Structure 1
Amino acid sequence: HESVVEVQGTWPLGADSRFVFRKNFAKYELFKSNGSLFPEVMVSGCLEANKSMAHSELIQNFLNSGSCPEVQGFLHLREAGRKVWKRFYFSLRRSGLYYSTKGTSKDPWHLQYFADLTESNIYYVTQGKKLYGAPTEFGFCIKPCKARSGTKGLKLLCSEDEQSRACWMAAFRLFKYGMQLYRNYQQAQARLSQPPWIGPTPLRSVSDNALVAMDFSGCTGRVLENPGEALTAALEEAQAWRKKTTHRYSLPAACQSSPLSA
């Protein structure tokens, strides 16, 4: 959902940068398999606040409203400027991403603000162990939008397994583009359920919108501004065409013999 032009505009002149596009078949998986994508242990805070609702129902309500559930869990964080990784308990809330300075405590005085996701982009990290000494290969990073190039301001994290990373990445997508994602999903479902013989409604072109009524009965054509006059001219033209057609079909064929004798 990033603007390609805006991303390209951040590249320095002469940089060896390029776009790589790939088909994402699981793009809307979060709306189809939300129960497995958001395990109970990672949304326990929401479940505690809504004890009367089942896990699947709670997640579906969040998705239908285009909002993101509060997600929490352990992540490994690489310290800035060092190759040391430390394990912290993170919480994603409406105001941003936080980590706890005291175990799994979610008390406000133990939560340290970590990143403003509305002003950042999130990316997958490949070869994290080799390049950054990460504890696992399930890494991702948070990069501020204002960071034009390089690794300045880059925050490197990794999760314990692929399931938890998928949960965090899905939560980040919902946090940033929740309602737009849901609308795109609804439109995709509507296209799939549409009968194949019903095509899309043709769009009127600019030239169609610029068409005007003309009268060619005189020596030169003229534009008809009055709608009533335009209708009268159209009816007269239709009547003239009918007369020409009737006259053409009433003429005897070339091979037809005349009843008159010489």
Structure 2
Amino acid sequence: MIIAYLLFVLNDILYHPYFTLLTLTPVIYFQEDVEAQIKSDKIKLALEKLKEAKVKKLVVKVVMNDGSSKTLMVDERQTVRDVLDNLFEKTHCDCNVDWSLSETNPELQLERGFEDHENLVDPLSAWTRDSENKVLFQERTEKYEVFKNPQNFYLWKKDKKTLKDMKDRDKELLVEENFCGPSIIVPDLEGVLYLREDNKKSWKPRLFLLRASGIYYVPKGKSKTRDLVCFVQFDNVNVYYGKEYKNKYKAPTDFCFVLKHPQIQKESQYIKYLCCDDSWMMTLWVTGIRIAKYGKSLYENYKTSMAKAQLTSAWNNRSTTTTSTPSTSSTITNASGKANGYAPQPPEEPVANIGIEPPPPPPLPPAQILPPHPTVKRSPSPNATTKKLPSLPIKYPPSQATIFNLPAPPLFLPPPPDSDFPLPPPPPDPAFCPVTNRVPKPAPPPRQLYMGADVPAPPPPPPPSFTPTSSVIKTAPLPPKRTTPMQAAPPGGGDFMSELARAMAKKRANQ
């Protein structure tokens, strides 16, 4: 009774509405959490798509040295270094530090190499829609020449022989002294440059000095230590190489460089034109301006480029060593071979070796293996020795004949056996057949089957006069062709097949 009462109470509790609500509440909360998480993921995905849609992207056509071009998709998050790495993969070039991206302005006849840390989209966005500007992928030796030979830029006043004989360790110390300190040291450049006045074709010489903040010049009749005038600052300008300014602007020489804002794409009074006496002086000033403008970023770009070049060079050397190993071994083999370059091939050995004698020597050429004449007779005696044919080369997997050292099959059928060989018995006497007046049909000629090199083919059937022995098993002959009409059945009844069965049973009983 107590157990029945407890079961009744438990059933009442379980089916109570309040208990059912408590049981379903965690399930409802769990579903709400899942829906909230799904909604949050959708919001994050939508925000990421919006953020990606706001990223400025450009389709850039890059012109190679050979005149061909590559088309790339570039966004504002990519630097020039990223674009260079992409081009390295597409062009399979050597990835040295001299490769750079450059922009050309045919209208102003300017050219400038992009720095590796720059965002490529920013300067390209300043181009006008009808602009003929191009992006070039080319090697520029002056890009990082300051880190390869820093003495030419920081000790340029010394004689050339002293600069040329400087050791590598001294070059490294000079780079560390000027680029690895708390501040970058700008080369101390000063000299006479030709300045093109505003909207004029006249060029006037002035004494210019390079400082970390910009370029300064000395007015006429003033001292270069006190009365310096700021010519231009490097905050909002880039340095460009001028092309053929001697013809266009009547410059004293063709070695000109220009300072202008990147947004200026046409003739303007805010463009500064300077002309040098020679190419080396122009390289000194352009490199010095780059060092003053970009500072330590220039050195970081060089180290990144060197790491990329060394990694690519190590990978190429490893691939070359791997591919050259087979050619070296083949050269040694050919040197030890014959004069015509083919090494003698060793004879092939059988795969399976069960402790028996090795196979016979290699086979003769195909021209020497000829079938014997049909009139040649072979001794049927099993004790007689037979001549073994040369075995053919053994291939994998080995055949059964190879495993048991049997000779390979010949390329021709053996001749018929000798007449002294015991022949199988002829068919039994047709007298046992109850049907009379039948002419036995001659047996068809036997087919010559392949029985191996030492086993002769079965002989043709002997004449009917041969008496079989008791040890020979009699075989039934083929049914003879009917020559007489079918006789009527005997009075006792039955047909031909039943009488034939009784005759055969009687014949077996007599034996």
- TM value normalised by structure 1: 0.62
- Give the residue type in structure 2 aligned to 1:91: L
- The aligned length equals 186
| Cα distance, 1:60 vs structure 2 | 5.3
Report if the CA contact (8 A) 2:151-2:174 is conserved.
Answer: no
- Deviation of the 1:29 alpha carbon: 1.1
Aligned with residue 177 of structure 2, among 57, 61, 67: 61
CA contact (8 A) 2:257 2:273 kept: yes
* Aligned residue number for residue 244 of structure 2: 127
Does 2:18 match 1:18?
no
The equivalent residue for 2:354 is: none
1:90 CA drift (Å): 0.5
Shift in Å, 1:193: 4.9
Q: Partner residue of 2:143? A: 27
| Bigger Cα displacement from structure 2, 142-151 vs 117-126 | 142-151
Match of 2:271 in 1: 154
Report the alpha carbon displacement of residue 145 of structure 1 after superposing the two structures with TM. Answer: 3.5
- Which of 193, 198, 220 matches 1:75? 193
Kindly provide the amino acid, as one letter, of the partner of residue 8 in structure 1: L
User: Alpha-carbon deviations, 1:44-76, whole Å to 9, x = none?
Assistant: xxxxxxxxxx99966752233444233211111
Return the letter of the residue paired with 1:90.
F
Task: Measure how far apart 1:30 and its partner are.
Answer: 0.5
Confirm or deny: 8 A CA contact 1:11 1:148 kept in the other structure.
yes
CA drift of 1:164 comes to 1.0
Change (3 A) 1:192 1:23: closer
Indicate whether 1:173 and 2:290 are aligned. yes
- Aligned partners of 2:261 and 2:307: how far apart in 1? 35
Are 1:96 and 2:214 matched, yes or no? yes
Distance (Å, rounded) in 1 between the aligned partners of 2:222 and 2:208: 8
Quote how far apart the aligned CAs of 1:185 are.
1.7
Q: Is the 8 A contact 1:77 1:156 kept in 2?
A: yes
Partner of residue 142, structure 1? 259
C-alpha contact 1:140 1:156 (8 A) present in aligned 2: yes
Is 1:185 aligned to 2:299, yes or no? no
SS in 1 for 2:130: coil
CA 1:122–1:70: 2 relative to 1, 3 Å: same
Aligned-partner SS, 2:139: coil
CA contact (8 A) 2:236 2:261 kept: yes
Higher relative helix content: 1
Identity %: 31
Query: Residue 31 of structure 1 contacts residue 63 of structure 1 at CA under 8 Å; is this kept in 2?
Result: no
The residue type paired with residue 5 of structure 1 is V
Structure 2 residue 221 is matched with structure 1 residue 84 = no
Deviation at 1:146, TM superposition (A): 4.5
Which is worse superposed, 62-71 or 186-195?
A: 186-195
Task: State how far apart, in whole Å, the 1-side matches of 2:132 and 2:306 are.
Answer: 39
Q: Does 1:114 align with 2:231?
A: yes
**In structure 2, what residue type is equivalent to 1:31?**
F
* Superposed displacement of residue 89, structure 1: 0.7
Q: 1:38 Cα shift?
A: 3.9
**Counterpart in 2 of 1:9?**
125
Please tell me whether the aligned partners of residues 11 and 149 of structure 1 are also in contact (alpha carbons under 8 angstroms): no
Which residue identity is paired with 1:119? Answer: N
Q: Distance in 2 between matches of 1:30 and 1:13?
A: 36
More strand per residue: 1
Pair 1:187–1:55, CA change in 2 (3 A): closer
Greater CA deviation, 69-78 or 14-23?
14-23
The amino acid that maps onto 2:186 is C
Counterpart of 2:143, as a letter, is K
In structure 2, relative to structure 1, the CA distance for the partners of 1:188 and 1:6 (3 Å cut) is closer
Residue identity opposite 1:4 in structure 2: L
Contact map agreement 2:208 2:217 (CA 8 A) in 1:
yes
Counterparts of 2:262 and 2:305, CA distance in 1:
29
Q: Is the contact between residue 89 and residue 104 of structure 1 (CA under 8 Å) also seen in structure 2?
A: no
Report deviation, 1:179. Answer: 0.8
Distance 1:96 1:197, change over 3 A: closer
| Structure 2 CA distance for aligned equivalents of residues 121 and 186 of structure 1 | 23
Q: TM-score, normalised by structure 2?
A: 0.33
Q: Residues of 2 paired with 1:18 and 1:112: CA distance?
A: 36
Mapped to 2, the partners of 1:7 and 1:178 lie a distance apart of: 20
Match of 1:106, as an amino acid?
K
Q: Which runs of 5+ in 2 are unaligned?
A: 1-114, 159-169, 317-511
Partner Cα distance (1:24, 1:179) in 2:
20
**In structure 2, distance between residues paired with 1:55 and 1:105:** 34
8 Å contact from structure 1 (residues 72, 90) kept in 2: yes
Structure 1 runs not aligned, ≥5 long: 43-53, 199-262
